[in-house]
Amino acid sequence: MFVALVVCATYAFSLDRDVGFWDTGELQTVPYILGLMHPTGFPAEILGGWAFTHVFALGEPALRMNVFCMLCVVFAAACACALAQLWRVPALVAAGAALCFAFTPVVWAHATHADVTDPALALCAAVLLATVFAIERDALRALYLAAFLAGLALGTHGMVVWFLPVPLLLVLVARKPALLRAVPLCSVLAVLTAALLYAYLPVRSAMVTAANLEPTRALGLGRGMPFIDMGHPSTPSGFLDIVTGRTVDAPGSLTAIFDVTRFGHDAAFALAQLQANYPLPLLLGLVALAVFGSWGSLQRSLLFLPGALVTPFAASFANESDVSRYYTFPLLCGWVLVAVGLARLVALAPRYAPDLSRAAAAALVVLTAGEAYGGRALFEQRNDALGSTYIADVLGATEPNAIVASAWIYATPLAYASFVRHAAAQRVVVARPAEELISVLPAWTAERPVYAIAESPPQVPVAVAFVRALGVNPGPHDPKLYRLGKP
């Protein structure tokens, strides 16, 4: 409880309160309207986010989704503390390690805005905790709970396929007959839970199609545009595109784990991810403690597996712009092992164990304070208004009946304005780069004003320049370029 309160209070004070771009803007929009997201679909996040944003109706939906994801990471940190205590780590040391995990830069940064990996982190942590509890206490019900949670986790993010082998292997290694007999039923439970979640994708897509809810259809575009019917998964090919991520070459990156020639590259990649969060001397000390914590225990050694499995995929997945978030769950596992390592060091001198335990906890608190100081810039997020400023500028610079085309990453705040705020009037947001719309622009400009948003980093204040663009023969309404940054 102490860990949860400290982490929650700090996260809340540094929480981004505005509409975001990229995945953040999409996650703030799609669950609220029960839409559809990019691969791998994330049905558990859509449904969970919808429930949270409608039940806890305080503030804007964008803020509610930020809070939802923040609470997911707070819960994961509490699970890390509880897991360490299950492995007989003193409460103060377990709490200190959980705090260090929570304030690791990559974890803290992703916890304070809506991120698709936060619910996955929470559920994977809960699965791991429930599995270890089942093993330590011979609690069969906890294993069934872990299986159900594993099914929910599979519905959050495709990356969990690299993490869920760990709880299964933990049960197999424990060799407890009652638990082993339950593995087939638990596997079925997990798969059925995930299947029911993914059924949302084709069902919702069919509902959108039947009710003609996709506004871009009136412009002559095909089905499957972002936000309300992404990928049109009511068709078999559309469903496979979304669930497998084959349109972004995710399956091609799966084979990297079997390519032994990449081992050196992958090791360097993982080291770079860790060094982005910890100075090298500190990192080496933490790794040594984690190794010591796992020494002689095959069960605890399995906690290195998530990082080892996800690294080849992350290192080869060229279409992922933020691979650092794949390491939040491996970091949680690592900090649990650090806590165990510290507890084992304390146990080497039983006469001084209470004092050494307090000293270890104090060292972790000092490290947490150092992390908090290093991440102090995150407290400025609460004053961020970039998304709302961008929305206001676009709406102010475009006509109410305009078609506004943009690459997906800059379309997400505009989709939020249209679908959630209902502030876009009759404007239609098209999440597609202007160069892909050359064939339809003449017809569009014959009927309506058309604006294309140039792809450049969003800045505040946004300078706007309108110029004839795209090299098409304009109709009564010239296509215009809304340029981000300086003209």
Question: Is the previous residue joined to 461 through a cis bond, with omega within 30 degrees of 0?
Answer: yes
The tens digit of pLDDT for each residue in 40-58 reads: 889 999 999 999 999 988 8
- The stretch 146-164 carries a mean pLDDT of 93
Q: Which residues of 162-180 are buried (b: 16+ CB within 10 A; e: fewer)?
A: bbbebbbebbeebebeebe
Lowest mean per-residue pLDDT among 8-12, 164-168, 186-190: 8-12
- Which pLDDT belongs to residue 254? 65
Instruction: State both tokens at 389.
Output: 């400023």
What are the residue ranges spanned by the domains of the chain? Answer: 2-200+247-380, 386-482
- The stretch 202-218 carries a mean pLDDT of 90
Report d(CA 290, CA 268) in Å as an integer: 19
- Which pLDDT belongs to residue 251? 63
- Which pLDDT belongs to residue 454? 64
Specify the pTM.
0.89
The tens digit of pLDDT for each residue in 445-461 reads: 778 888 877 654 444 33
User: Phi, psi at residue 469, to the nearest 5°?
Assistant: -135, 165
Question: Is the previous residue joined to 29 through a cis bond, with omega within 30 degrees of 0?
Answer: no
The tens digit of pLDDT for each residue in 309-326 reads: 888 888 887 677 788 889
- Which pLDDT belongs to residue 485? 35
DSSP string across 42-70: -HHHHHHHHHHHHHS--S-HHHHHHHHHH
- Which pLDDT belongs to residue 288? 93
Instruction: Kindly provide the residue ranges of all beta strands, DSSP E only, lying in 281-322, ordered along the sequence.
Output: none
- The stretch 292-321 carries a mean pLDDT of 86
Higher local confidence (pLDDT), 94 or 393: 94
Percentage of residues of the chain with pLDDT beyond 90: 46
- Which pLDDT belongs to residue 461? 35
Per this entry, what is the length of the chain?
A: 487
Max CA distance (Å), the chain: 88
- Which pLDDT belongs to residue 81? 95
CA dist list (Å): 6 to 75, 125, 365, 459, 463 = 12, 19, 12, 33, 41
Within 13 Å, how many C-alpha atoms sit on residue 18's CB side?
A: 17
Across the chain, what does the average pLDDT equal? 85
The tens digit of pLDDT for each residue in 23-41 reads: 899 999 999 999 999 888 8
Nearest to 135 by CA among 167, 169, 171, 108: 171
H-helix segments, 303-440: 305-316, 328-347, 353-374, 386-397, 408-415
The top-scoring range by mean pLDDT among 77-81, 282-286, 370-374, 382-386 is 77-81
- The stretch 264-291 carries a mean pLDDT of 88
Instruction: Name every residue whose Cβ is closer than 8 Å to that of residue 361 and which is 6 or more positions away in sequence.
Output: 90, 92, 93, 95, 96
- The stretch 70-96 carries a mean pLDDT of 94
Does the pLDDT of residue 110 top 90, yes or no?
yes
Q: Which residues of 189-200 are buried (b: 16+ CB within 10 A; e: fewer)?
A: bbeebbeebbeb
The tens digit of pLDDT for each residue in 399-430 reads: 888 888 888 888 899 999 999 999 888 888 99
